[in-house]
Amino acid sequence: MKTKNFIKVGVIGCGWITGMYKLASRIIKNTKIVAAADLNINRAIKIAGKKNACIDIEEMYRNEEIDAVYISTPHHLHRPMIKQAFEHGKHVLCEKPVGVSVDDARKIRDLDLQYPDLKLGFNYNYRYDHNCYRLVRAIQGGYLDEIYYANCNLFFSRDESYYERGPWRIKKETAGGGTLLTQGSHMVDIMIWAFGEPKSVIGKIDNKKFKNIEVEDFALGIIEFENGVHAQINDSTFITPPYDKFKEKVELEIFGKKGRCYYRGPWPKSSLTWKGIRKYKIKKDTKGFSHFGRSVKAFGDWVLKDKPYLNTIEESSKALILVSALYKSSETGKKEIIEKL
């Protein structure tokens, strides 16, 4: 490590989400982009400047300043690119999901074990939404007492251009799944964090609007957790007209013995309300402008200060494994037991 103040990052994949990463790195103080690689050189230039942009990833790795990489590529590339980064001795922050299959998750976990001195995190940034954080800590602390069940709705608005801009999103082989894995897994991750290990699922996926894609644009699921909590999830990607200019609405309502709570998000419209009980007060875990930026900062602190990061391979794999079980249930028409990593 060449500095104790910030990590120097090479970016792999320079789509729109990387623009958010660049903005976050400018606001926080512990992360600096020093290189970028993308098959479209102009996109790499926008992220790191002409001098530090390249098409070939191996060329980027010849930049000896790089401490870590941020991977924002199609889902099927996550595993080989994490392996490549580890072989070059770099820490990794990878966009979610972990990969396209449970096998991917297990092989990446094995890679992580092979390189104990390198950090590997996944950007399930809802864990760094202050209201998600408060919600989970309250549930874990027994604030609602016994939890009866939860209802999660995810309403996204996408059109054909979403798939035209990223044709890899159409195919099961390259995307791993559709709206449930790409959008919905954020809240699947939060529910697992709040309620603990999932036990079984019943799922139904379909294509309601986009008939020419291999992955789902609509998903329903019932999740049973090991502690007896049940949750239902309703996820779609074709809502017209959109709920707001951000073209998404995410909500989670939890019903317990003492009362109920309601989360509406994500940022910048994140909110949390409690009914039947007083508002739960808990100290914020991280500071920052947005949940995305706080996740980036937390990863930097993990590398620099060894401060625990919430989104490890062990934690982030749980969402992929649960979503994979929902897909399998939709195929078999039966309840499916959740596998372990």
How far is residue 303's CA from residue 30's CA, in Å, rounded to a whole number?
Answer: 10
Mean pLDDT of 256-283: 87
Instruction: Evaluate whether residue 184 is within a structural domain.
Output: yes
Instruction: Evaluate whether residue 286 is within a structural domain.
Output: no
Residues 31 and 83 in one domain: yes
Instruction: Evaluate whether residue 283 is within a structural domain.
Output: no
Residues 70 and 197 in one domain: no
Q: How confident is the model at residue 272 (pLDDT cuts 50, 70, 90)?
A: very high
Cβ atoms 229, 145 nearer than 8 A: no
pLDDT of residue 161: 94
How far is residue 148's CA from residue 226's CA, in Å, rounded to a whole number?
Answer: 13
CATH code of the domain containing 248: 3.30.360.10
Phi-psi region of 57 (alpha: psi -120 to 50; beta: other; left: phi over 0): alpha
pLDDT above 90 for 136: yes
Residues 150 and 236 in one domain: yes
Residues 52 and 177 in one domain: no
Provide the mean pLDDT of the chain: 95
Residues 143 and 261 in one domain: yes
- pLDDT tens readout for residues 106-132: 999 999 999 999 999 999 999 999 999
Residues 248 and 162 in one domain: yes
| Most confident range, picked from 156-165, 236-245, 317-326 | 317-326
Q: Which residue has the higher pLDDT, 1 or 96?
A: 96
pLDDT of residue 285: 67
Instruction: Evaluate whether residue 60 is within a structural domain.
Output: yes
Instruction: Evaluate whether residue 133 is within a structural domain.
Output: yes
Residues 21 and 51 in one domain: yes
Q: How confident is the model at residue 2 (pLDDT cuts 50, 70, 90)?
A: very low
What number of residues does the chain have? 341
Output DSSP code: residue 312. B
| Token pair listed for 222 | 């019932």
User: What DSSP letter does each residue of 202-215 carry, written as one string?
Assistant: EEEEE-SS-TT-SS
Residues 104 and 118 in one domain: yes
Residues 59 and 80 in one domain: yes
Domain membership of residue 72 as a residue range? 7-125+294-312
Mean pLDDT of 220-240: 97
The structural domain count of the chain equals 2
Instruction: Evaluate whether residue 1 is within a structural domain.
Output: no
pLDDT of residue 284: 67
Mean pLDDT of 119-147: 95
Residues 89 and 157 in one domain: no
Instruction: Evaluate whether residue 37 is within a structural domain.
Output: yes
Mean pLDDT of 185-194: 98
Its pTM stands at: 0.95
| Token pair listed for 206 | 């379909």
Give, to the nearest 10 degrees, the angle between helix 313-332 and helix 102-114. 160
Residues 150 and 266 in one domain: yes
| Most confident range, picked from 129-138, 197-206, 239-248 | 197-206
Mean pLDDT of 201-205: 98
Cβ atoms 230, 255 nearer than 8 A: no
Q: Which residue spans within the chain are E strands per DSSP?
A: 7-12, 31-37, 53-54, 68-71, 91-94, 120-122, 147-156, 198-206, 218-225, 230-236, 248-256, 260-265, 271-275, 336-337
Instruction: Evaluate whether residue 288 is within a structural domain.
Output: no
pLDDT above 70 for 1: no
| Token pair listed for 157 | 């608005």
pLDDT of residue 289: 73
Lowest mean pLDDT segment, chosen from 160-174, 187-201, 279-293:
279-293
3-class secondary structure, 163: helix
Instruction: Give the burial string for 132-168 (b: 16+ CB within 10 Å, else e).
Output: bbbbbbbbeeebbeebebbebbbbbbbeeeebeeeee
Mean pLDDT of 284-293: 79
Lowest mean pLDDT segment, chosen from 50-54, 136-140, 245-249:
245-249
Handedness of CA 235, 236, 242, 247 (dihedral sign): positive
Residues 66 and 12 in one domain: yes
Phi-psi region of 264 (alpha: psi -120 to 50; beta: other; left: phi over 0): beta
Q: How confident is the model at residue 266 (pLDDT cuts 50, 70, 90)?
A: confident
pLDDT of residue 267: 78
Cβ atoms 62, 331 nearer than 8 A: no
